[in-house]
Structure 1
């Protein structure tokens, strides 16, 4: 999630807010970095309806290797707390694709043996809402081709134009 870059000092807590909170080795010479993104790991129940933030980090730039390390730490902590994590879901941002590849030893796989729960599998999936949105955006930019000819996005473009300024959109996605 993108957040506004700003720092704030809390006199009551004698603390500065808005800086990176990633668990990195800080040296004396390293300048503080103002965060502009939020990474949040959320656990979501399958058989029960609960949503719990498991961990969150403010950061400026996060590599896929750092994301993989953080995901492993969160998975391990959740396993220690007796949560059975069966699936990791993310949008199809390049860091999330790379994260899934890190778990699959360089290959994009749908599941692997769970790293912290013997006998369980850990599944990976992309959030379908983001996939539909990305397909729509690509289709708005380009026509597609099939064996039968060109698949035109003219109707989709017209629909997007018609309901572009409407508060309630009759046709979603």
Structure 2
């Protein structure tokens, strides 16, 4: 088929010869650094500004022998960054990291770890190390934004990165100061924007719009107007006032408690409301920073695969 010219698919050995064979190393391994160097040679300095997307995937626990590498895989492996409490424990999830371009479309897997019941503290250590390794490999990539799903462990990780509070921008973990910068007031520091995956947040809002009948002053709210959420849904819907009522009435009568339960069905949950406002603030602040501070002419959306030159 290849000789006839009908198709032009590369042989499987071609990319292997191009970057090297995988050794199933966790973390930012030598093969990833070769890939980053190769990709970076075809990108301008502005195109190297990117987001780091964190994604956790469930895997079946089990250990497997890979004869080509003469090694067993399947146990918890965090790349030596964190020593597992039990070295014999099998991994149940894979934590992956991908670079996504902000002005040019590209997706580059940069690291993965095999984990089991990862804590926010451990995930923070892994994430910070990945950021340092990617930017420290000398290929010129600059991570401007960290994106993850609105899971409890991710939310707690973001809070830990900002001293216990949920805020959409923090000091960049690879920031280095010279003596002049340290003595200057105010201290200028590099920013790292934190955001939940807006597709995940939109899905949660959609699910709640389908699960319950939301109303504003007697008018129904449907998923048809999700795009105009902030314009159409004001007042009671986006304010978690019901939770305050529950706290003030812990010993209410059965009728009062039933009334509160019915009222809560007309509100977005606190977690979804928090994720929605957090992600919106982060997205607006990050785009403003890229356009005004870094000189971007445009910022690609997640679904855009076009490269503008």
TM-score range, shorter chain: 0.7 to 0.9
- The separation in 2 between residues aligned to 1:47 and 1:120, in whole angstroms, is 19
Please list every run of 5 or more consecutive structure 1 residues that lacks an aligned counterpart in the other structure: 154-173
Report Cα offsets for 1:130-155 as digits up to 9, x if no partner.
011111222332222423356478xx
Name which of structure 1's ranges 47-56 and 88-97 shifts more when overlaid on structure 2.
Answer: 47-56
Q: Which has the higher contact order (CA 8 A, sep 6+)?
A: 2
Task: Count residues with an aligned counterpart.
Answer: 151
Q: Does the alignment pair 1:103 with 2:161?
A: yes
Distance in 1 (alpha carbons) for counterparts of 2:221 and 2:172: 42
- For residue 120 of structure 1, the aligned residue among 190, 199, 221 is 190
TM-score normalised by the chain length of structure 1: 0.77
Equivalent-residue separation in structure 1 for 2:59 and 2:201 (angstroms): 23
Q: Distance in 2 between matches of 1:138 and 1:80?
A: 42
The CA deviation at 1:17 is: 1.7
Check 1:132–1:80 CA distance in 2 against 1; reply closer, same or farther (3 A cut).
same
Partner Cα distance (1:100, 1:126) in 2: 10
CA contact (8 A) 1:79 1:117 kept: no
Structure 2 residue runs without a partner (length 5+):
1-56, 177-188, 224-309
Deviations 1:59-85 (A, max 9, x none): 121000000011111111122123211
Give the TM-score normalised by the residue count of structure 2. 0.45
Is contact 2:66–2:72 with CA below 8 Å preserved after alignment? yes
Deviations 1:75-119, CA, capped at 9 Å, x for gaps: 111221232110000110111111111111111111012121353
- Match of residue 77 from structure 1: 133
Are residues 26 and 65 of structure 1, via their aligned partners in 2, closer, same or farther at CA, if it must alter by over 3 Å?
closer
Shift of 1:26: 5.8
Task: State the SS of the aligned residue for 2:204.
Answer: helix
What is the 5 A alignment of 1:34-45? Answer: 34-45=90-101
Larger radius of gyration: 2
Tell whether the 8 Å contact from 2:209 to 2:221 is kept in structure 1 after alignment. Answer: no
CA RMSD of aligned residues (A): 2.1
Structure with higher strand content: 1
| Residue 4, structure 1, aligned to residue 60, structure 2 | yes
The answer to which structure has the higher helix fraction is: 2
Does the C-alpha gap of structure 1 residues 147 and 33 become closer, same or farther in structure 2, counting only changes over 3 Å? same
1:92 aligns with 2:150: yes
Comparing 98-107 with 110-119, greater Cα deviation is found at: 110-119
Residues 8-63 of structure 1: CA distance to partner in whole angstroms, max 9, x if unpaired? Answer: 12344331121111233368xx4511111110111112122221112100112100
SS in 1 for 2:205: helix
Distance 2:131 2:122 in 1: 14
Partner-residue secondary structure (3-state), 2:147: strand
Structure 2 distance, partners of 1:148, 1:142, is: 14
